[in-house]
Chains A and B, each alone.
Chain A
């Protein structure tokens, strides 16, 4: 017999449970799904551009986010956004543990829905286990096929919805159905359908335990005060450990007198666990902090009139009877960084210039002497109108005395919303006694109708022999 080469997966068949955390998770799920599936369909009035609230226009190199239009050159905002996301993860994880994994991660959300489908078609945990272990027959075949078809439907909707963010949703959907859509749209839809089906349907908790880097490195941010889903071992085990509620061990007082803990070893907490672990073994890397075992245990505790919270959100320190500390340098540091980066991003977005002026001096040759002895420099200029209105611009110089600007036909130019124009301009000035060989100055983009209004300035240099 050959050695075992891979860790065979033991299928996890989670049992359903209801309670506080389950309700909260369903609420978050509903919200997240509503946003994800419906957002591409939300229409938004703009004076120009598409009327879709959120649209990532790759061809036009513009991202529309409600009233904010992000141009390709503003994409560094994405870096700010990602840094904020990272620090938010650090901050929340340091205080409250793997909140992201348990409540917001799409792997968790989609697995939840896929398990729900499984339960609706095949029944509760015991029925499903029976079906898995039973021989293939008509019933098993129909139920398994039904489940997978419904999964496929959800996966397809997921892939499709993602694709719709990258084009005008109604039009793109029509094209896709008619078979005339662009190839990348089909490829994206197909790819995401496949990954959703595989990850949420087949791989499930293996994504968290084997594939996901976040699940592993979040532990680095943990400390003694971090909230985690924990089993109160002192109360649950007492001196003689857990025991089933057999005769003589039914009432809490009887158990305490005999040295048995409050845990009646019903196994409900293990059955509901989506990653198939036993929380009573202590903190484990597989635990995604989904808190379903808390709901499970509380359900049992309520039914036998024991106090709740044998499994609860707690921390290492709290379990050992110490005070929890929130304010510590690490948390404060994360919070400060979070505020700082958010501030910078908001400031950068709020003070964005609606018109862009880019100046490149032509450096070959740096200057030429003209027939009347004037010195001439050339510049390549790019003007972009990032407002949603057509704009009339006037290009002028500032800070270079007695210089003349020659922009050919385009000293005044009109640009539609989102339009940009490249110009070649020449600046010439008479030679003077000043020995300064490089003169800094500004190109100034003015509004044509009110020349006093400077739209944007850009620094440049003028070279002399």
Chain B
């Protein structure tokens, strides 16, 4: 078809200005037009079903499209269609799917959970998330803690005991760890000697004479043995640290290079003492959540 021939068949709007000025009429393709009508129909249906138009302070809520869901604390709510209500509904469905597993965990003893393929991996994966949400802020992801502030949960040294029951109690009731400062009751030299002795307990090479003097202070004027025991191994009932192992929870001895630096770190703790506090989670977390967390923390280090 030649272009000249084509020109004659083009539609115009019918008007002519200045004699020969005409406007082409380019009709829309039918498929396009019907597509457009379809979007109009779609829009009308959408307006009816979903929230659409603002009216003053409020808006049209959409009809025949209500969402009913039950919240975590058992209240039933009904809402017009919103993405939040959709999410709540999905959360409810997820909770219902989890329920049989949780009930099983609730009824099973710790050792049985640890020995059961399905339950141990369920408890572990669930608690991993709970730990990240509730515990990792202090104890760090993976439970490594921070020396001097938050105890390391991944090693095998326990202040309050590493059995399932003891871990569960720590989580449930929280813990208060206090050590008084001794700078008022002990002289600088006594503190220096005690530090020498305490470092020696962990197998670090120290001055034997000074350590012997330190031992006298430890068991005498310093009254350190009241909490840490005569052997220095601490006791779970008080949360007093075991001074004979290689783990340091408060004085950052592993980071210190020389004996003098290590002593400085220990002396600082003896002189000033410290107090740390772990909040109680009873009530904030459900029983089964606490149980799974205790299982998880025990898994981190194999407990004790």
Contact = CB atoms under 8 A, between A and B. Distances in A.
Interface of A: 1-3, 5-6, 362-365, 368-373, 376, 378, 406, 408-410, 413, 421-422, 424, 426, 465
Contact of B242 (A3, A371, A378): A371
Among B114, B247, B254, residue most surrounded by chain A Cβ atoms (within 10 Å):
B247
Contact of A3 (B10, B120, B140): B10
Interface string B183-204: 0000000000000000000010
B244 to A, nearest CB: 8
B115 interface: yes
B245 interface: yes
Given A378-B300, A424-B124, 19 more contacts: A1-B11, A3-B10, A3-B11, A6-B31, A362-B142, A364-B141, A365-B154, A368-B154, A370-B156, A370-B247, A371-B156, A371-B157, A371-B245, A372-B246, A409-B114, A409-B120, A413-B117, A421-B117, A421-B121
Contacts of A371: 155-157, 242, 245-247
B74 interface: no
Interface in B280-304: 299-302
Nearest to A431: B246
Nearest to B124: A424
Given A3-B10, A371-B242, A364 B142 contact: yes
A363 B143 CA distance: 11
A68 B233 CA distance: 60
A369 B155 contact: yes
The 9 closest A-B pairs by CB, nearest first: A371-B245, A364-B142, A365-B144, A409-B115, A373-B246, A368-B155, A371-B157, A364-B141, A368-B154
A5 B242 CA distance: 89
B30 A368 contact: no
Contacts of A422: 121, 124-125
B119 to A, nearest CB: 11
A408 B115 CA distance: 8
Contact of A6 (B27, B29, B203): B29
Contacts of A362: 142
A347 to B, nearest CB: 34
Contacts of A421: 117, 121
A1 B245 contact: no
A426 B299 CA distance: 9
Given A365-B144, A369-B246, A1 B9 contact: yes
Given A371-B156, A378-B300, A408 B114 contact: yes
Given A5-B29, A370-B246, A424 B156 contact: no
Contacts of B152: 368
27 contacts: A2-B27, A3-B10, A5-B29, A6-B29, A362-B142, A364-B140, A365-B142, A365-B143, A365-B144, A368-B152, A369-B155, A369-B246, A369-B254, A370-B246, A371-B156, A371-B157, A371-B242, A371-B246, A372-B246, A373-B246, A378-B300, A408-B120, A409-B120, A413-B117, A422-B125, A424-B124, A424-B299
B245 A372 contact: yes
A408 B247 CA distance: 23
A227 B16 CA distance: 60
Among A368, A372, A409, A422, residue most surrounded by chain B Cβ atoms (within 10 Å):
A368
A447 B203 CA distance: 42
Interface of B: 9-11, 27, 29-31, 114-115, 117, 120-121, 124-125, 140-144, 152, 154-157, 203, 242, 245-247, 254, 299-302
Nearest to B203: A373
A5 B300 contact: no
B241 to A, nearest CB: 11
A376 B246 contact: no
A225 to B, nearest CB: 38
Nearest to A1: B9
A410 B117 contact: yes
Contacts of A408: 114, 120, 299, 302
Nearest to B117: A421
Contact of B302 (A1, A6, A363, A406): A406
Contacts of A365: 140, 142-144, 154
Contacts of B143: 365
Contacts of A465: 254
Nearest to B254: A369
B239 to A, nearest CB: 16
Contact of A370 (B10, B115, B155, B299): B155
A398 B125 CA distance: 28
Contacts of A373: 203, 246
Contacts of B30: 5
B247 A426 contact: no
A465 B247 CA distance: 13
A408 B124 CA distance: 13
Nearest to B296: A424
Contacts of A409: 114-115, 120
A378 B155 CA distance: 11
B16 to A, nearest CB: 19
